[in-house]
């Protein structure tokens, strides 16, 4: 695949933002061609007024953001949008005190294309630490399994570890599987992004605090994973995301540096993630351009990301065969 054209937008006017800060977006394309995006916004990350916001893009125009209503008194984090095969929209998000270790995952659903959402419920009763997708989208595997990339972040960064959550009933119940890590001091690996390269062969690329993206692979539809290992892709201890294109190309959006949260780039891999080549720089200025989300259709990529914590930016990228 190659890029033939692209455009950049902002989901709302930064001079008329609904909240002082915004971060951690997610994007979903609906069957009718509309897009939904969600993020958390409020005074500042971790403050009690931070809530989940959603906007719809219809006929190339983003509608006024609306806040998801719930009765949870704590700060909110990391929404993730997903549409099931039946057409139900799932919106996962985290909430708890200002300590990540207190997170619980909540779920609201929509059966009218994201116009309205149900009351919230806990995704997994008794969950502490956050089950289900932690930042990046779930995917369906070729056998119908729904697999969510997840991680647990306890008080100390040495207790950060990646997991996947498997669902065999379209997201009603979930089964936790750990991705094993080497027994090394201070190792911290979180926030996987997933793809399936062939039937049952699933891969995870993960954020770390060790200046490299780490990876693990499963040969049995995510039921077991190999010991995670470092790649040569730089990572700044910030989120990244991958989408697999129709020809098998992998599209990686990330900050390909070890310290700061700029630049933000798009890179393609033709060898199942062994190597990547930059194809587009989304942001090259000094600032925070981070926590990207990416999805793919037959001939397009859609990307959202944090724009200097003040707003959410969006790229639409048109593709063609080589």
Residue 108, number of CB atoms within 10 A of its CB = 21
**232 to 205, 248, 257: CA distances (angstroms):** 12, 21, 11
Q: Is the pLDDT of residue 95 over 90?
A: yes
pTM over 0.85: yes
> Domain of 298: which CATH number?
2.120.10.10
Which is more confident, 128 or 274?
A: 274
Number of domains in the chain: 1
Contacts of 281 (CB under 8 A, 6+ apart): 263, 264, 265, 266
pLDDT tens profile 143-185: 999 999 999 987 655 578 999 999 999 999 999 999 999 998 8
- CA 195 to mean position of chain CA atoms: 13
Do 19 and 52 touch, CB atoms closer than 8 A?
Answer: no
Per-residue pLDDT, averaged over 194-204, amounts to 98
297-302 mean pLDDT = 96
Q: Please state the rounded mean pLDDT for residues 205-232.
A: 97
Residue 17, domain extent: 2-320
């Amino acid at each position: 695949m190659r890029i033939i054209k692209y455009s950049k937008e902002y989901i709302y006017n930064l001079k008329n933002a609904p909240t002082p800060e915004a971060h951690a977006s997610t994007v979903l394309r609906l069957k009718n061609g509309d897009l939904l995006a969600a993020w958390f916004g409020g005074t500042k990350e971790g403050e009690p007024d931070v809530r989940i916001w959603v906007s719809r893009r219809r006929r190339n125009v983003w509608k006024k953001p609306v806040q998801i209503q719930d009765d949870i008194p704590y700060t909110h984090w990391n929404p993730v949008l997903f549409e099931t095969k039946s057409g139900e929209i799932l919106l996962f998000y985290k909430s708890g005190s200002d300590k990540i270790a207190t997170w619980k995952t909540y779920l609201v659903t929509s059966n009218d294309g994201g116009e309205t959402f149900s009351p919230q419920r806990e995704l997994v009763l008794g969950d502490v630490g956050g089950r289900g997708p932690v930042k990046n989208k779930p995917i369906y595997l070729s056998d119908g399994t729904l697999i969510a990339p997840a991680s647990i972040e306890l008080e100390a960064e040495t207790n950060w570890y990646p997991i996947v959550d498997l669902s065999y009933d379209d997201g009603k119940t979930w089964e936790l599987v750990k991705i094993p890590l080497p027994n090394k001091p201070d190792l911290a690996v979180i926030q996987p992004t997933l793809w399936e390269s062939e039937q049952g062969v699933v891969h995870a690329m993960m954020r770390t605090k060790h200046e490299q993206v780490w990876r693990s692979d499963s040969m049995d539809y995510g039921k077991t994973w190999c010991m995670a290992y470092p790649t040569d892709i730089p990572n700044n201890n910030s989120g990244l995301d991958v989408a697999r294109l129709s020809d098998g190309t992998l599209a990686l959006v990330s900050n390909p540096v070890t310290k700061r949260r700029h630049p933000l780039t798009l890179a393609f891999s033709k060898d199942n993630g062994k190597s990547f080549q930059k194809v587009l720089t989304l942001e090259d200025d000094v600032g925070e351009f981070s926590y990207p989300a990416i999805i793919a259709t037959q001939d397009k990529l859609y990307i959202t990301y944090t724009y200097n914590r003040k707003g959410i930016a969006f790229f639409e990228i048109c593709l063609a065969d080589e």
